[in-house]
Structures are given as C-alpha cells and as structure tokens.
Structure 1
Amino acid sequence: MKYHPINASLFIKNRKNFASQMKPNSLAIFNSNDIYPTSADGTMPFEQHRDIFYLSGVDQEESVLMIFPDCPNHELREVLFVRETNDHIAVWEGEKLTKEAAFATSGIKTVFWLQELEKVLFEMASYCDTFYINTNEHYRAKVETETREDRFTKWLLAKYPAHSVAKSNPILQRLRSVKDAIELDLMQQACNITEKGFRRLLQFVKPGVWEYEIEAELLHEFVRNRSKGFAYTPIIASGNNANVLHYIENNQECKAGDLLLLDVAAEYANYKSDLTRTIPVSGRFTERQKAVYNAVNNVKKEATKMLVPGVFWKEYHVEVGKIMTSELLKLGLIDKADVHNEDPKWPAYKKYFMHGTSHHIGLDTHDYGLIHEPIKANMVFTVEPGIYIPKEGFGIRLEDDVVVQEKGEPFNLMKNIPIEADEIEDLMNQK
C-alpha cells in the first residue's frame, strides 16, 4: 500500500462498536471484494470492500472477517482468514499478509489461512443462532454484478438453512457515518493531497490546454503524495461541458474566455475527499461569470452553516433551495412569477440547480448514512451548490468537505484550498 500504516486501535474500536449492536449469540461475516476481470488475463485494480476494511484494516483480496462476541470458544470471537502466502506468490504477485502482519494490521489475534474457513465456520455455526449477512442497502446503490459477498451468502444460507438471518448494513450505516478522530485525520490527508493538485493546476491552466492534460497533472501530484489516485472518476469540464453534471470524457480543449469546472479529488488510505472548483481558463472572470460565481459561493457558505446536529437531510435541502432561489432572483435567471407559479415538487430554482447540495463522505465518496435520521456531530458532508446556464455557455459548482461539530459551524477540511474569486485570479496570474 502507498499509505502509511493505520493504528490498529481504529479497527479494534470499530469491531467493538459493531459487536455491541449485534443480537445475542450471533455471528457476522464480511468478505473482501473480487478482483474483477477485463478480458484475456487482464483485471481491474483491486478495490477493497469498505466494510471489511472499516472493521479490520485488511486491504487484500480473498480475506474474510468473522465477529462472534458470544462464542463460547474465546479464541473464535474475532477471526480473520487470509490467503496463504509463500515464496512463489511473493515472486509473482508481491508481498501478501502473513498471519503476524494480519494481526499487526487488524489487532485480531486469531488468524487462519483461507483454506481452513469451512472447518472453522462449522464449529462457529454450531454455537450460534443467527448469521449477520452483509448486503448493500445504500440509497444510491444499483448493483447488477454478483459480488463475492453475494456468492458467499448464497453458499452460507444453503449450507446452514436452520439459522436465523440478520442484516449488518443498518448497523454499519450508523457507525460508518460518524467518524473517529483517526478517520478524520486520514480524510484531512486526502484533502491536503487534493489541495496540492489544485494549486498545481492554477499555474498550469491556460487557453489551449486540453482537459486530459489537466487530468494528467492531477494524477501525477496525487500519486507522488501517496494517494492511489482519484477518489472518483474526475470531471474536468470546460465551457458548456460543465452543464453535463457527470461529464467524464475530459477530451476537449480549454478555450480563452471559458470557465473550467473541476470536480476532482484524491483518496488516501481508502478515505475520500471530494472537491469542486470553477476557474477562468484565461485567468480572469468576466463580470457576469464572477457574479454567478459569487452567488454560488454565497449559497455554499450559508448551506454550510446549516449542517448542525439534529437537522434532517431532506429539510436541509429545502432550506438550501430557498437560499438558491434568492440568489437566482438577484441574477435575473428567474423572476417572482416563476417562484409564485412553481411546482412544489420541482421548484423554480431546479432549472439552474438540479442536484442535491450535500452527501455523506468517508470510505465511499457517497458514504454510508441513514438520511431519514438526524445529522450528528462528526459526520462529514460535502457542500456543493451549483448554477448551470447552458445558454450562457458555462456552469459553476463549488464544493468543500466539512465535519459537523457538536456546537457551532462545521469544520472545513478544505479551508486551505483557494475558493474566493479574487484569490483564484491572483494565483492564476502570478509570475
């Protein structure tokens, strides 16, 4: 791994918190992700399942975690299975976890090779009444591929049909949404790497540069600072491309007078950052561009203030919509008649700001969090309003990642990344 080792105390605490919410005499099982094929003998880069990483720190394929707090055999209350390594594997694939390294990473004392799983599970299953299976119930999830977790669940329930079944996901949704201090430090590192990439671009962007060249500059800066790379597929959208919300082709030339929307950020140790900035390709905003830019920035500032404990996510978005409506009226993009005659299900402001303002962020870019429950301290949210004006040939979005505080305004993990229009211009025009 490129990242520095993470203190195992994080994963020990996470397992303890999860176990405290399990039913009596139950066993929870978590699998690593598959390595997915491309074609021939090609594969996609491995990405660990965030749940097993959250609970163990193990960042390796073919690993299985079992948590059984009430197991009468104390040695089997926490069990980790990893793929057996040897000299041949070390030569062809590189270093894999030994049992000792798996313990150092996770804090789990009982580590078996994967081929022992069925035998050990048989003993554990004879003691327990309920299996916790791990299903993906994120509100944005739309998964068509059968995962390693899915295959294991089918096998498990066929092998042990008399056991009761419970779901791990609701527990993890609550636990993962509230961040530990160690997690916040890791997210801050991701944001700091993102800052380095963005500052690099302010001296690089000019008319005639291509969007993919900007992508290359960012990737260079991210990887040289111990990131695997982008936290998500980068959006580098010049001119009217910015009005396509998920524009990822990044294959157009940046032209004089255009704005460039950059929705780009680094990951660090599997933790994500999520940044959006909009900058003038020529180094200066026009008067109109700056007016819209400042309107978006005003919405972002006011929306940030509202992310406090006790607020409900849906109600928050309604209030942000009111602020955006006010700004659009000032810009002349909508008028009072538009507001008076608006459909409550699709308010007038949605013509120019059609997406949500905030989502949870953490191990996933759209991280776990039960949006029907009130916001809590130490949740981390994006704040990302935008105004998109295809007729004028530009779109503007601004985004930071903020930590909800017990009292007062959220803490901005991206507070050192330039955002004010004048500062952006000054930095782009430095000799």
Structure 2
Amino acid sequence: MNNRTRTLVVCFLALAAIGFVSLFQFDSALASKDAPPATVVRVTPPAPVFDDAKRLDELAARRKHVAEAIGPGAMLVMFSAEPRVYTNDVDYAFRQENNLFYLTNLNQKGATLIMMPGTHSPEILFLPRRNPAAETWTGHMYSAEEAARFSGIKEIWAASEFEPFMKAARNKESYSPKAENVLMSSPRSATGSAGNDVSSLATVCLVAAPDRGESREYRQEQRFANDWKTVAGITIKTIAPIFADMRARKSAMELEILQHAIDISIEAHERAWIAAANAKWEYEIDAEVARVFKLRNADNWGYPDIVGCGANATTLHYEESQSQCQPGDLLLMDVGAEFGHYSADVTRTTPVNGKFSPAQAAIYQIVYDAQEAAARAAKPGATLSDAHRASLAVIKAGLLKLGLITDPNSEQYRMWFMHQNGHWLGMNVHDVGGGARFEPGMTFTNEPGIYIRPDALDNLPKTPENEKLIAAIRPAFEKYRGIGVRIEDDMVITPEGAKWMTAALPRSIADIEAFIAKARRQRLP
C-alpha cells in the first residue's frame, strides 16, 4: 500500500468513525427525549430475601432462648390471634399475635404452640387441618409440611388434639394423640406421644399476665388462665418480660425487614408531598400514601395514617383527613408501612406550597434542633428518657426565645409539647422495651414536636397566674397560632451511637424546599 492509498484509507476510517458517533448521539438524543426524566423520588428498593436455613436457625435460636428461660417443669402455651370483627360478619384482615409469629413465622389462624423444655416433645404445634370448603371462602391454610418449612417445628398435631392434651396435662397424665391426628412427627418423638412429659408440670407460662385486666388481644389466654387457676400444684405466670427483652434487640435480619418498611414509608412521604401541590383535600394526599403502600406490597399500615393540614397538624393523632388544604398551610404526615410484621413510624411536616413562612420556619427549626440533640444523647447505656431530656432542653429554650413561655423551669412547655420524645419500634409501632438502656440493635423513634393549638389559651384554668401568663405570651401565640410541627425519624443503636434509618428522607428546611421544588417539575414514574 503506497502512501497516497494509506492516507485515503485513514481519512475514510476517520469519517466513518465520526458518522458512527454522530448517529449514536442522535439515537441517544431521541431516546433521552422519549424516556421520562430521572425522578428525585426515592423508589423503594427490592424487598429483602433470606436464606431459608438462616431464617430457620434464627427462629430455632429464639425458641431455644425461651425454653432455657422457662426451664424444665414449665409449659408455655401460645395462642394464635383471634379474628377481629369489623362489623357483623366482616372481619379485619388477620394479623398473627406478635410473639407467636416471632417464634414461628406462621400467620395461620387457630394455631397453638406448646413448649415443654426437657421433655420428649419439647415443641408441639397444634394446627387446624386444611379444609377445602373453608379455603374456598377464605383462602389457603397451611399444610403440616408448609408449617414445618416456615417455622422449623417438626412435631405438628391436629388442632383437635389440643383440648384432650390439656385435659391430660391438668391431671399430669401421659397422653398419646390419635395416629391420624399426628400430622408430622420429629425423629425423637416418632410415636407422636408426649408420654409422661407432663408428670413434673409445675408452671404454666402465658404471654399475658394472669392478673392483668381484661384484654381484647389476649382474651383467649385469660380464659385459659382462669380455667387453670383451680388446678392444684400449678403456678401461672407471664413470660412477657422475656419476649420484651428479646424483641428489643433486633437481629440483622429483623433490621433488614424493618428497613424495608421504612423505605416504603419514605417513598409514600415523598410522593404525597408532590401530590399535595394539586390536592384540595387531605384525603387526596392520604390516597397517595395508600397507593404506595399497595404498590410496594406492604402488609398494611402500622397504624392509621395521620395526614393533617393547617391547624389539624396540632392534633397529635388526627385521623379524619377530611379538611381542605390551603397553599399557606403546613402538612403534617405521620405514616408508617408494615412489612413482614415490622412497622415503620415516620413523620414530616412540609409546606403545601413548597416554602416555609418565617413563622413556620421558626417553629420547625426548634423541633429540628431538638431532634438533633436527642439523637446525640441516644447512645449505648443511655435511655429514651435521656434522649427526651436532651430534646426538651432545646424546646424549652426555643419556646422562651419565641415568647411562647415565660419560665423554662416550669411546666409551661407542656402547652406546646405534651408527649415523650420517642418510643421503641418493632413488631408493634409502640413496641416493647420499657425503661431499658440502649444497646446495639435496639430501634426507636425520635419525634419531638411543637403544637400551637388555636384554642390552647382558652382551655387553661382561669387562675390569676394563668391570666398573667396569657397576657405575656399572647403576642407570640397570635403570631404562631395554628402551627403544628413534628419530625419523626426511626433510629437504631450502634456501638458508636444512633444511626438514622430514615436518613434518605429530606428533613432540614433547605432540603425539604429543594426536594419539593425539584420534584414538582418532574414527571413521576
């Protein structure tokens, strides 16, 4: 190839390359024009998927811990949740009793678990037989094989054997179920017989305290306890503290499940903020929350949605969602999805028109700073009360500066901040844990608030002291009247301190305003 030919070839290749790049850019431009723009909304990541062996190992470890806690000579009886009636012959969706689900992962009505440590049959699951007629109306029932696969429990008897077994246990007699009622049997109890398992029975353990007042959730246990109180030589006690201690510390698996519930809640918040721009009514905004919960396959809400505009934001548990939203209103949304039996609890207060007014921003910033103080106080060894005190100090100082109280050392602040700063979070939105000290794996909410209720001063007792207080704070009250702000984040304790599980949801004034401005310019997927 001579030099002239070589030059022509190089030029041809160069032109071809330029043409290819131009064509690629043209195609890309067309694709970009047709495709929806990337959205600022954080779309919920896929739900967590767990290895079956790992999941069953964790369930077995929980049951082992409970067995060791109650010890030999004890029998734990755990009943399935009872169906809850909505009206007449319509029930609410079934939700399993938390502690039974915690040990079995079973959402089956009518199931009962018995644990008898140190016996031939340390775990017996009583399971309703599958009923094709019932399943035609209300859906699938677990087979013994499915129940074993989900729970890891290998000794499964028909539910009809529960009463005969208990009758024998009351008399401390051995009991063998009918062969056809042994749906599955573990190798060490191949005969399906409890034999003399109950001969040394001295204690019956229940989740509900036997002397507790009437409980709608634990009526079945209470009836059972009342029946067994007459049995000589038997002590009835609650093991609720054991479950509370266990459930307060979340495993890595539990944290993943809870995080997914939180992620769904974050997307619901963000999409609802955007919907608020065109919404006339609170229920229209709430409808967007419900849509996201369904779209992302949440089990349900963890509690009824709180969606309040304007002065409705000053009602802590406002659930009606029947008022109109005005452009200058604040929108308080306290919503949390439930997924895998774990509930999120997330609150934000945002401006309907996308911009905080100076008065709204002043209240909001105090609450924001209080939340930051509580987060710094939440570390291993501290308590929820410590976090509350840190938050309260900031709120008192802020209210004093705004002129809404005159004495930070008094109880005046309770007019505007009347709840605790946070609570435990888990299988219940207000979960077990009591006054425990923070340890790694514990999850809780951080939720300070200020609520300037329009009728707050009218409801104060008519005393000379209050008349003086009202006169002093009246100007500030009129300035901030009707403003309600709560910021609530879900947190987990780590060795280093509190981690924000809701960090992806905008929280500061600047971040909220920037998010709303950007999101409302975009087309939502």
Provide the TM-score with structure 1 as the length reference: 0.91
Aligned equivalent of 1:46, options 91, 94, 98: 94
Equivalent residue for 1:399?
488
Secondary structure of 1:294 counterpart: helix
CA distance in 1, matches of 2:261, 2:206: 31
CA distance in 2, matches of 1:278, 1:329: 22
How much has 1:259 moved relative to structure 2? 0.3
Equivalent residue for 2:408?
339
CA distance in 2, matches of 1:317, 1:377: 19
The question of whether the paired residues in 1 share the 8 Å contact of 2:244 and 2:432 is answered with yes
RMSD: 2.2
CA distance in 2, matches of 1:8, 1:89: 29
The question of whether the paired residues in 1 share the 8 Å contact of 2:366 and 2:394 is answered with no
Q: 2:504 is matched by which residue type in structure 1?
A: N
Q: Which runs of 5 or more structure 2 residues have no equivalent in the other structure?
A: 1-46, 169-173, 175-196, 455-480
The question of whether the paired residues in 1 share the 8 Å contact of 2:335 and 2:345 is answered with yes
Equivalent residue for 1:327?
398
The answer on 1:9 being equivalent to 2:57 is: yes
How much has 1:144 moved relative to structure 2? 5.4
Q: 2:223 is matched by which residue type in structure 1?
A: R
Aligned equivalent of 1:84, options 109, 115, 129: 129
Equivalent residue for 1:310?
381
Equivalent residue for 1:378?
441
CA distance in 2, matches of 1:120, 1:309: 46
Secondary structure of 1:20 counterpart: helix
Equivalent residue for 1:33?
81
CA distance in 2, matches of 1:303, 1:145: 33
How much has 1:156 moved relative to structure 2? 4.0
CA distance in 1, matches of 2:486, 2:85: 35
Q: Which moved more, 1:111-120 or 1:351-360?
A: 111-120
The answer on 1:153 being equivalent to 2:216 is: no
CA distance in 2, matches of 1:180, 1:165: 30
Map 1:279-298 → 2, pairs under 5 A: 279-298=350-369
The answer on 1:269 being equivalent to 2:353 is: no
The question of whether the paired residues in 1 share the 8 Å contact of 2:272 and 2:286 is answered with no
Map 1:199-218 → 2, pairs under 5 A: 199-206=270-277, 208-218=279-289
Secondary structure of 2:125 counterpart: strand
Q: 1:233 is matched by which residue type in structure 2?
A: P
Q: Which moved more, 1:212-221 or 1:145-154?
A: 145-154
How much has 1:10 moved relative to structure 2? 2.7
CA distance in 2, matches of 1:258, 1:190: 28
Equivalent residue for 1:130?
203
Q: 2:123 is matched by which residue type in structure 1?
A: E
CA distance in 2, matches of 1:129, 1:175: 24
How much has 1:40 moved relative to structure 2? 2.9
Secondary structure of 1:125 counterpart: coil
Map 1:237-256 → 2, pairs under 5 A: 237-256=308-327
Q: 1:243 is matched by which residue type in structure 2?
A: T
How much has 1:86 moved relative to structure 2? 3.0
The question of whether the paired residues in 2 share the 8 Å contact of 1:3 and 1:227 is answered with no
Q: 2:70 is matched by which residue type in structure 1?
A: M
Secondary structure of 2:408 counterpart: helix
Give CA deviations for 1:20-47 in whole Å, capped at 9, x if unaligned. 2113321111111110223332112212
How much has 1:359 moved relative to structure 2? 0.4
Q: Which runs of 5 or more structure 1 residues have no equivalent in the other structure?
A: none
Aligned equivalent of 1:172, options 232, 237, 243: 243
CA distance in 2, matches of 1:349, 1:202: 30
How much has 1:188 moved relative to structure 2? 0.4
Q: 1:424 is matched by which residue type in structure 2?
A: I
Paired residues, number: 415
Identity score, percent: 30
Q: Runs ≥4 in structure 1, deviation > 4 angstroms?
A: 2-6
The question of whether the paired residues in 1 share the 8 Å contact of 2:313 and 2:451 is answered with yes
How much has 1:66 moved relative to structure 2? 1.2
Aligned equivalent of 2:506, options 386, 394, 418: 418
The question of whether the paired residues in 2 share the 8 Å contact of 1:238 and 1:260 is answered with yes
CA distance in 1, matches of 2:506, 2:413: 27
Equivalent residue for 2:66?
18
How much has 1:149 moved relative to structure 2? 2.4
Secondary structure of 1:153 counterpart: helix
1:57/1:156 Cα in 2 relative to 1: closer, same or farther (>3 Å)? Answer: farther
Give CA deviations for 1:53-105 in whole Å, capped at 9, x if unaligned. 1111111211111111111x1xx101111111032233222111110111111
Q: Which has the larger radius of gyration?
A: 2
CA distance in 2, matches of 1:246, 1:136: 29
How much has 1:207 moved relative to structure 2? 6.0
Map 1:108-147 → 2, pairs under 5 A: 108-121=153-166, 122=168, 123=174, 124-135=197-208, 143=215, 147=219
The question of whether the paired residues in 2 share the 8 Å contact of 1:82 and 1:111 is answered with yes
Secondary structure of 1:429 counterpart: helix
1:213/1:422 Cα in 2 relative to 1: closer, same or farther (>3 Å)? Answer: same
How much has 1:146 moved relative to structure 2? 6.0
How much has 1:130 moved relative to structure 2? 1.0
